[in-house]
Structure 1
Amino acid sequence: MIDWFSRIKKFYDDGRWIKEMVHDVVAVGRITPEQYEEITGEPYKLEPPTE
């Protein structure tokens, strides 16, 4: 089983992903809104972030 949280957090921390990409994986159920906040430091909102 893939640990989506760890993988996505690493991609974000390494600068390979932006907040919008992390937002998209919440929408498809790979991570939770709470995990989004843990990764990005911002609360999850239904509207995608703009960077």
Structure 2
Amino acid sequence: MDWFAIIKKFYADGDWTKDQVAAAVVKGKITPEQYEEITGEPYVEA
């Protein structure tokens, strides 16, 4: 499953927040670099 593409689309469509994208990093579905590509902001660990 291409989690990056799925999450990117959800975020672009306004269905996901930055917090939800960050949760995907924590769960190992995407990398911190992919978070930055999706949101346009660097990933900061909570």
**TM-score class, shorter:** over 0.9
Specify the alignment match of 1:39 in structure 2.
38
Indicate whether 1:10 and 2:9 are aligned: yes
How many equivalent residue pairs? Answer: 46
Q: Of Structure 1 and Structure 2, which has the larger fraction of its residues in helix?
A: 2
Question: CA separation in 2, counterparts of 1:30 and 1:18?
Answer: 16
Between Structure 1 and Structure 2, whose CA radius of gyration is higher? 1
Structure number with greater CO (CA < 8 Å, separation at least 6) is 1
Indicate whether 1:21 and 2:8 are aligned: no
Using structure 1 for the length normalisation, give the TM-score: 0.89
**Runs of 4 or more consecutive aligned structure 1 residues displaced over 6 Å after TM superposition:** none
* % identical equivalent positions: 63
Shift of 1:31: 0.2
Shift of 1:10: 0.1
Runs of 5+ in structure 2 lacking a partner? none
